[in-house]
Structure formats: structure tokens, C-alpha cells
Amino acid sequence: MPIDRDRLWRRIEALAGITDPDRPWTRRSFSPRFIEGRAWLAAEFRASGLATSIDAGGNLVGEWAGTDPALPPIVVGSHSDTVPAGGRFDGILGVIAGLEVAQGLAERGERLRHPLKVYDFLAEEPSEFGLSCIGSRAYAGKLTPDMLALKRADGVTLREAMLAVGGRPDELGSRAAAAPVAAYVELHIEQGRILESAGCDIGVVTDIVGIRRERITVTGRADHSGTTPMAYRADALVGAAAIIEAVHAKALALQAAARPVIGTIGHLVVVPNAANAVPGEVALSLEVRSADEDAIDRFGAELLETTRERTEALRLTVRRELVSHVAPTACAALIQQAAADAARLAGYSSQPIASGAGHDGVFVAATGPIGMIFIPCRDGRSHTPEEWTEPAQAEAGARVLAETVRLLDHRLAAPGPISPAL
């Protein structure tokens, strides 16, 4: 399945170039730039010979029919929205590479046994509605009425915003079950430096980590900073600092585990937050990521137990509450094997790797087996303007994606060994 490297790269550059000019590379979901990018993508889908539509969840879909319409589709793709100044490849690569695979089939008049669908999932990145993975949640039948009622700052509901981009959210509630997929495969930049450090071409993703977020509130007593002696203070920020340090130390100690744990305190709210006041309360956001579900569940409770003696000595009270929890998602063994075989057949090195970021596949997994293919990105940088991968690396990923799709089409329809020729 040949890949047109120049066309692949031109399209990546063209879609990335649809950005807020004063803040590259930014194309936030539901924004005018996003709608412009969607229109460009839809035109490219149609010009490539794909049957193109917007589904009820607001996802852009291009389909190349298979020879057996009774078979569920093989789905490839990713997302085209970005975080602010979020980079040129995150999401874009998977959509454009998926289009390149489908167009290659169309140009040769070749059909797989399975239908092949290319998806641009709506709003994978956190949106102004406080929700991520909107399109893939909808696809999996997991976008609830409460979610559709969420409002952004201007009062527009998610339901209204989905209607504006061509979705039909009122149809989602009538779906008794999500439409099954034969397999979902997403090509993505690694967003880390493991592949680059190892000099490896391809990452075969084993798991998408679980993500648990908790709010930890440290309560002391606000006092005048000039008149309250140090020995009499109940400084909530000092206690928060102890917790922050403990998060770092605990997660660092778990890096040698078979499934490492990442712990982050990324947001603080300090009250009263004044230069001349002892902090009376601090709210911290704790985020824990790992493919080890038990470790995620235990982390917060063990953290507070570790710091209890210190916070009690400071005369502080500490409470924690769950904000959100998404369990780890394992990638299907059959897709991991197909991707590893595809890399070998195409002449690329590969290694197993876990994804430390969340992806649409977490929700698509409710509909069938999922897998991911990673390529290196420079210095592991992502969600920044400096995000970069080389044209040859993008080509390698697209070639491995194409061969993975071909192998899966054969193995899912007629399980057994195959000796394919590129």
C-alpha cells in the first residue's frame, strides 16, 4: 500500500496552517478556525473519492467501501482540534495519514474486505465546555444529556455547539448500543522522548494510561502576616508545599515499576492570596496517570497518609475529593501484533510503549479492539509551538499504518498467518 510522502506532508502543513495567526498553532474546537479546517478536510476527503459525511456526534467521516458490507469497519483517524498554541502534528497526523491510506486504495481501485472509515473526531482536546473527547464519547454512546447541557462562558450549550458544526445530538440518545468496529488504529506522535532516545522508528502502543484527578483542600487559618508569630500560624500553603513535594517523591519512586506512575500538581488556588496574609486555604489539583489502575486508585489516600504527621503538626486539616477518573485502556493484542509485523515488513524498528496521554481510543474501545502507532517527536515536545516530527518520520508512520490496516483486514476476516508483500 504505497504512501505519497509529498502529498502527506503538504496536507499536514496545509491543515496546521489554518491557525489563529497571532497564536500558532491554534485551532480550538467549535471556533471559526476549526470550522474552516473542517471544511478543508471535508473537501480533501471528497476529492480523494471517499463518501463524506458528518455523523450524529459531529465527527467528520470519510468512507471507502469494502467488498463485504456485512463486516464492521476498520476505523483510522484522530482529531483536528488543538490546545492553545498546541502544535502542528498532535491529532492532525492521524487524520491526514488515515486519509492517505484510504486515498491510496481509492486511486488503485482496490477495496479491502472491511469498509475503511477515516474519522476526524470532534473536540478531543479539553474544550471550553470543560469536556474532552466529545466526538469519541458520542461515537461510543457515552455522551450524556448532562454533558450536552454543559455551557461555555457565552452561555452556548454543548448541544447547540454540536448542531452548529453539523452534528445531530438529539439522535444520540436513541442509540441502544454503539456501532461496532472491527478495529480502530490511530497514528500519533509520541508526545514524549522514549522513541527518540532509543533511536527507534515506531512505537507499538500497549496501553493508554488511566487518568485520575482529585481536588485536595488544605485548610488552616488566615491571619495578618505581620502580627502573627510563626509558631502560632496554621499556614495552609506550607502544608500544600509538603503535599506537592510528597507527590513528586512518591511518583519518582514508582518510576521503576512495571507500569510507572506519573503524579502532578498543576493548579493551585490560594485564599486569601494576599502578600500580607497567612494563607488560610489552598486547593490543589492532583492528577495521577498510569496503566496500573490499582496504583492510581491508591495514590491519593497513600499521599495524605504520608503527609499526615506534617500537616497535623501545622494544625491543618486536609480533605480530598474525586473530580474525574478514566480507567486505563489496553490496546488489543491482535492490533499490537499487526503493527509490529507491519513495521518489520516495512523495514522499520519498533518497540512496545505505553501512552502517557489520553486519546479518543479510550472511548472507541467500547465498540471494539483498539490500537495505536507512535512515531518520535523532537525532544518529546508536544502541546507547544515547538512540536515537530520529520517528514520521513511521518511517512514511516503512515506506511506502518497502511500495512497494519491491510494485515488486520486479512486477519480479522480470515484469522491465520500471512506472508504479505509490500
Residue 79, annotated ligand binder? yes
Supply the pLDDT for residue 416.
47
Query: Which single residue is written with the C-alpha cell 489516600?
Result: 301
Owner of C-alpha cell 493548579: 267
What angle do helix axes 5-16 and 391-413 make, rounded to 10 degrees?
110
Instruction: Name residue 377's amino acid.
Output: C
Q: If residue 45 lies in a helix (H) or strand (E), which one and from where to where?
A: helix 32-47
The predicted structure's pLDDT at residue 419? 38
Binding residue per annotation — 4?
Answer: no
346: which 3 cell numbers?
Answer: 516495512
Is residue 114 within 8 Å of 74, Cβ to Cβ? yes
Please tell me the predicted confidence (pLDDT) of residue 2: 83
The response to whether 359 counts as a known ligand-binding position is no
Q: Has 55 been labeled as part of a binding site? A: no
Per-10-residue mean pLDDT for the chain, 422 residues long?
94 98 96 98 98 97 96 98 95 98 97 98 95 95 94 97 97 69 98 97 97 97 98 98 98 92 96 98 97 96 98 98 94 98 98 95 96 98 97 98 98 61 33
The amino acid occupying position 12 is I
Three cell numbers written together for 283? 486547593
Query: pTM to 2 decimals?
Result: 0.90
Determine the pLDDT at residue 177.
54
Domains of the chain: 5-208+328-413 (3.40.630.10), 210-326 (3.30.70.360)
For the CA atoms of 401, 379, 31, 135, what is the dihedral angle to 10 degrees? 40
Q: Is 90 marked as binding a ligand?
A: yes
Is 289 known as a binding-site position? yes
Distance CA 130, CA 152 (A): 8
Q: What's residue 418's pLDDT? A: 42
